[in-house]
């Protein structure tokens, strides 16, 4: 199987990123579990990071664009790590007070 042309085609990266983003949206909308919802958000963030890196790698001008796509991707990865830590703290706190993490049952903010 000849895979030499795959790395030179931005369309394949964009299709893969679109698949990740749609999978993230579907996961976020269809899951009843809080952890599943956060996993969908992570998929959407990773799709955006893949777009940044792909557009930076295939930029033909190369004027003042040293590593901008990679820098934005690092910010997305840091944001995803922070989001995961905060989400875990929220899920653990809700589970400790209610013994359930179903988002449909969480209608009030006071515990």
Contact between 49 and 83 (Cβ < 8 Å):
no
The Cα 23–Cα 95 span in angstroms is: 27
- The answer to the question of residue 110 being in a domain is no
The Cα 13–Cα 22 span in angstroms is: 14
- The answer to the question of residue 46 being in a domain is yes
Q: Is 24 exposed, middle or buried (CB count within 10 Å of its CB: 0-12, 13-18, 19+)?
A: buried
**pLDDT value at position 1?**
44
Q: Give mean pLDDT, residues 101-106.
A: 72
**pLDDT value at position 19?**
96
Give pLDDT tens digits for 61-70. Answer: 766 656 777 7
- The answer to the question of residue 44 being in a domain is yes
CATH number of domain containing 56: 1.10.287.3510
């Amino acid at each position: 199987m000849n895979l030499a042309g795959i790395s030179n085609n931005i369309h394949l990266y964009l299709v893969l990123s679109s698949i990740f983003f749609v999978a993230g949206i579907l996961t976020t909308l269809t899951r009843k579990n809080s952890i599943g919802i956060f996993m969908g958000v992570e998929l959407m963030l990773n799709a955006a990071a893949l777009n940044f890196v792909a557009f930076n790698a295939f930029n033909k001008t190369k004027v003042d664009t040293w590593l901008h796509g990679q820098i934005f991707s690092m910010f997305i990865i840091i944001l995803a790590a922070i989001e995961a830590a905060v989400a875990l703290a929220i899920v653990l706190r809700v589970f400790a007070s209610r013994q359930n993490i179903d988002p449909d049952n969480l209608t009030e903010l006071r515990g």
